[in-house]
Amino acid sequence: MPEPKSAFDATYPCDFYEPAELFEPDQMYTIPEIGRLLQGLEPDAEVDPDTEAVLVDWAVPWVMVHAEEMVVAEPLTEDGPGYYGLATDADPEADPDAEAEADDGDGSA
């Protein structure tokens, strides 16, 4: 149920990190790890399952909003999680134009 703003002692700006502020450029992170980072925690911080569920709820839309600034990697194991990281100049496969050129099949890529 909505609450009036007057019910709260204070309100704060809704500022979120940008991927370049959050990620180490040479590291890849799972969604739960990203959720921890968004809260100022270490990626491997121990959190209870209910807290982790909330962190994941925050992390998924954040990843979607910042998808153009990120790269994704397949899980390391068949049943493992996916990994996300900061897109850098060292990631040629992160350039959608490069992928489209390679898929042309005309040998010009």
| CA–CA gap between residue 55 and residue 42 (Å, rounded) | 13
Tell me: pLDDT of 76 over 60: yes
60 in a structural domain: yes
Indicate the Cα dihedral angle 64, 66, 70, 76, nearest 10°.
Answer: -30
Output DSSP code: residue 82: P
pTM of the model: 0.74
Domain of residue 44: give its range: 25-101
Between the CA of residue 59 and those of 82, 96, 109, what are the distances in Å?
A: 13, 24, 36
6 in a structural domain: no
70 in a structural domain: yes
Quick: pLDDT tens for 10-39.
998 887 889 999 999 999 999 999 999 999
Quick: pLDDT tens for 32-46.
999 999 999 999 999
Number of domains forming the structure of the chain = 1
Is 62 in contact with 16 (CB distance < 8 Å)? yes
Place 91 in a pLDDT band, splitting at 50, 70 and 90. confident
108 in a structural domain: no
Could you tell me the CATH number of the domain that includes residue 60? 1.10.10
